[in-house]
Amino acid sequence: MQIHTTIESLRAARAAAGKVAFVPTMGNLHEGHITLMRQAGERADAVIASIFVNRLQFGPREDFDKYPRTLAADCERLEAAGVAHLFAPDETVMYPTPQQYHVDPAPAHVSILEGEFRAGHFRGVATVVLKLLNIVQPDIALFGKKDYQQLMVLSNMVREFALPVEVLPGETVRAPDGLALSSRNGYLSAAERAEAPRLYRQLTAIRDAVLAGDRDFLKLETMAVAELAAHGWRPDYVTVRRRADLQPPAHGDAAPLVVLAAAKLGTTRLIDNLEI
């Protein structure tokens, strides 16, 4: 695997790489990331990954400085997964001058759910991903479904800007007890890690109830929030939404649905979702 720290080096390698699948990350990789890398390898001649902890998507009280940087271990995992090229720039490469141009996603898509609790987050995500896509110029880009709202925002960005890249979603990878794999799981204490699968169990209960014909979404959401709170969680939301735009389903709406949740356990904020 070749490691590139400059745009010029990465672009030279990309020019000779044939059909490219790209997986952007912030590092501290887990099996969910590696699964995306393997899926990318099945669709292209070469896989390019990136590792860049993007300051623009962190809020003033979020964990940018504490975010784990594990480049050496990440490189070993990427090479073992068959990644051909890693783009690992520092901030002076990605933002040689302060970033004054930004991508502002549709307010209706980013004022809800995660956007309600992380103002400006998706603006930072969309801006850096657009920049990375311009640098790498891949044929395919893969993003995980675990960050469901992010996947929607980026898919819409690619479509509306007519970018010549196919966006492929990757299924959420879970531990045997159901917990969605996440870099932030490493912040959990042993007791919190044992409790954490409850979030997925609540999503599963809602999905199963809806599939069995229960359309009282408010009741199901309220019950899930109460169950989490009773076990020490601080829920931000548990909600059933339309998959296409993450808006609440109207009465009688037959559109495909997804149930999404975000809650703090101790000091760690976990998110998850399950398609219905």
pLDDT per residue as tens digits for the range 60-82: 878 788 888 999 999 999 999 99
Task: Tally the residues of the chain.
Answer: 276
CB 149 within 8 A of CB 114: yes
Pair of tokens at residue 37: 């890398």
Tell me what pLDDT residue 253 has. 83
Q: Which helix (H) or strand (E) holds 90?
A: none
Tell me what pLDDT residue 48 has. 98
Letter for the amino acid at 134? Answer: N
Where the chain has pLDDT below 50, the residues are none
Enter the pTM of the model.
0.93
Residues marked active site are found at: 33
In the numeric block, the tokens 């800007």 are attached to 161
**CA–CA dist 276, 203 (Å, integer):** 10
Nearest partner of 222 among 233, 206, 210, judged by Cα? 206
Tell me what pLDDT residue 39 has. 96
Query: CB-side exposure of 222: number of CA atoms within 13 Å?
Result: 4
Pair of tokens at residue 57: 């998507």
Nearest partner of 152 among 217, 106, 207, judged by Cα? 106
**CA–CA dist 225, 250 (Å, integer):** 22
CB 271 within 8 A of CB 259: no
